[in-house]
Amino acid sequence: MEKKELLYEGKAKKVFTTDDPGLLIVSYKDDATAFDGMKKGTIVGKGAINNRMTNHIFKLLEEKGVPTHLVEELNDRETVVKKVQILPLEVIIRNYSAGSFAKKMGMDEGIKLSRPTLEFSYKNDDLHDPFINSYYALALNLATQEEIDTVTRYAFIVNDVMREYFSTLGIELIDFKIEFGRLGDGTVILADEVSPDTCRLWDKETHEKLDKDRFRRDLGNVEDAYNEVFRRLGIQ
Ligand code: TMP
């Protein structure tokens, strides 16, 4: 697999074309941003952890019937993935109150919800990824009804699988954000990443935050948290 030119550089990853038009190489960076890029920093070792963690979880999800863009891990930071057109929707599932939900609902963080919630935001940094519902998504042609139904179904499966898996690692899955893409034939598959950047992960016993909130909120020990999650995954 030959890496060709840089196709796109995002906040946390670079994407390269390859000699196969259907495949791309993603390269995970140690760069961290928050608040739509307003806050910038580095989390040493994050790129490798997020790459390897995403691939580990995506393999598990594939086994449970959720198709993903994963093709092959090349090295610590780089993975070959299927080329997709990313749906401009962030799909967020919450099991406990936290973050923007806790703020919006006037709740403390860490309160277990009676059932998991799902929300969409429109992936657009200039607009600060506004909260939208499926009617907005349809009205703005962000996705079709069939695609919305598919991502909704997959998102709850992802939640069930990850919740159970993290639980075995002594981690409570508070909430997470995932993204989906369309293959050339229109099939919708899970893309992007699943990592401490995109999930809230709390130690089950101590409720210590083991995710990017340590960076967002200047809580310290950011690298330690990423390393701890990676250690518990037992990937080697
Ligand atoms: P929120 O509570 O700030 O809306 O975040 C919900 C989840 O989405 C949380 O697990 C963090 C994740 N997230 C991202 O992956 N990217 C983002 O840009 C934001 C704001 C949140």
198 lines ligand 1 (CB under 6 A): yes
Whole-number pLDDT of residue 115: 98
The closest of 44, 38, 54 to 179, measured between CA atoms, is 54
Q: Delineate the domains of the chain, giving CATH numbers in brackets.
A: 6-82 (3.30.200.20), 85-222 (3.30.470.20)
As a three-state string, the secondary structure of the chain is: CCEEEEEEECCCEEEEEECCCCEEEEEECCEEEECCCCEEEECCCHHHHHHHHHHHHHHHHHHCCCCECEEEECCCCEEEEECCEECCEEEEEEEECCHHHHHHHCCCCCCEEEEEEEEEEECCHHHCCCEECHHHHHHCCCCCHHHHHHHHHHHHHHHHHHHHHHHHCCEEEEEEEEEEEECCCCCEEEECCCCCCCEEEEECCCCCECCCHHHHCCCCCHHHHHHHHHHHHCCC
14 lines ligand 1 (CB under 6 A): no
- 99 C-alpha vs ligand 1 centroid, how far in Å? 7
Whole-number pLDDT of residue 1: 81
Sign of CA dihedral 170, 26, 10, 158: negative
The tens-digit pLDDT sequence of the chain (236 residues) is 899 999 999 999 999 999 999 999 999 999 999 999 999 999 999 999 999 999 999 999 999 999 999 999 999 999 999 999 999 999 999 999 999 999 999 999 999 999 999 999 999 989 999 999 999 999 999 999 999 999 999 999 999 999 999 999 999 999 999 999 999 999 999 999 999 999 999 999 999 999 999 999 999 999 999 999 999 999 97
Contact 95, 159 (CB under 8 A): yes
Whole-number pLDDT of residue 74: 98
177 lines ligand 1 (CB under 6 A): yes
Whole-number pLDDT of residue 236: 75
- What's CA 135's distance to the chain center, in Å? 23
159 lines ligand 1 (CB under 6 A): no
